[in-house]
Amino acid sequence: MSVAKNLEQIKNELAPHVTLVAVSKTKPIETIMEAYNAGQRIFGENKIQEMVEKWEALPKDIEWHMIGHVQRNKVKYMAEFVSLVHGVDSFRLLKEIDKQAQKHHRVIPCLLQMHIAQESTKFGLDQTELEAMIDSAEFGQLEHVKIMGLMGMATFTQDQERIRNEFTSLKSIFDGLKKKMPEISILSMGMSGDYNIAIEEGSTMVRIGSSIFGARQYH
Ligand SMILES: *Cc1c(COP(=O)(O)O)cnc(C)c1O
């Protein structure tokens, strides 16, 4: 199957309110251009350096989403162009993004990453940390970041009910947060293996890599 065919098939399955992020990490420029030529404009990467190189080489109407774990000392490299940072998992990181965005006279849209999986290796905030952050006076003073919603990753497992429960819990955190922050609209959950469940549980943004581009090879 070609990239264009895979994209078409997935887009046909997605309801109009669900945004598709094509996860192009590890994939070369030519492969990304196949998706671009098929109309895809939103791409996700999980390493800042790789995203910068691709941003430099590819058409400038692409929206680049940083979906991976972000190290604070690397925020400066993407602050000029990143469209959405999915993995904001600490207040210190959010403050660094605010600082770097200010240098570029822009506001960077962000998602707060919640820890919903039962795997300790996954990143994210818990409910208590989320509440402490958004209730703090300092949070209200950040003018160069805009919280657009939440992101989460389910446990890597074959257990569909467990995945569903984790997505349900993220949706309920999202609904709770929306009472305090009515402007939030993005719930980023779902990857190649679980996006159908994620959408049933309320996802508005799916991050799909291998189902579009094929399996990844790491060197
Ligand atoms: C790699 C990655 C994806 C896409 O994974 P696939 O299983 O290839 O669809 C989605 N989200 C994050 C955070 C990722 O790192």
pLDDT at 119: 78
Say what the pLDDT of residue 25 is.
97
Tokens standing for residue 44: 């996700």
Distance in Å, CA 189 to ligand 1 centroid: 10
Q: Is the pLDDT of residue 99 over 80?
A: yes
pLDDT value at position 107? 98
pLDDT tens-digit series, residues 34-43: 999 999 999 9
* Confidence at 219, pLDDT banded by 50, 70, 90: low
* Per-residue pLDDT reduced to its tens digit, 141-173: 999 999 999 999 999 999 999 999 999 999 999
pLDDT higher than 80, residue 55 = yes
In DSSP terms, which residues pair with 208 in a beta bridge?
22
Element (H, E) at 17: none
C-beta neighbour count of 130 within 10 angstroms: 19
Average pLDDT over residues 69-86: 98
Q: What is the mean pLDDT of residues 203-211?
A: 98
Region 36-65: what's the mean pLDDT?
98
Residue of 164, 166, 162 whose CA lies nearest to 152: 166
C-beta 68 within 6 A of ligand 1: yes
> Could you report the per-residue pLDDT of 118-144, keeping only the tens digit for each?
877 778 999 999 999 999 999 999 999
Question: Who has greater pLDDT, 62 or 216?
Answer: 62
82: burial class by Cβ within 10 Å (0-12, 13-18, 19+)? buried
User: How far is it, in rounded angstroms, from Cα 181 to Cα 130?
Assistant: 13
Mean pLDDT over all residues of the chain? 96
Overall average pLDDT of the 179-186 stretch? 97
| Cα-based distances in Å from 213 to 41, 71, 160, 206 | 15, 26, 24, 15
* CA angle in degrees (0–180, nearest 5) for 194-84-119: 40
User: In whole angstroms, what is the distance from residue 126 CA to residue 124 CA?
Assistant: 7
| Residues 46, 92, 81: CA angle, nearest 5 degrees | 45
Report the percentage of the chain scoring pLDDT > 70: 99
Length of the chain: 219
- C-alpha 153 to ligand 1 mean position (Å): 9
Any ligand 1 atom below 6 A from CB of 23: yes
Q: Is 210 in the pocket of ligand 1 (CB under 6 A)?
A: yes
The ligand 1 atom at the shortest distance from the C-alpha of residue 46 is 15
What's the 137 CA to ligand 1 centre distance in angstroms? 34
For range 171-192, the mean pLDDT:
98
- The confidence score (pLDDT) of residue 158 equals 93
Per-residue pLDDT band at 181 (split at 50, 70, 90)? very high
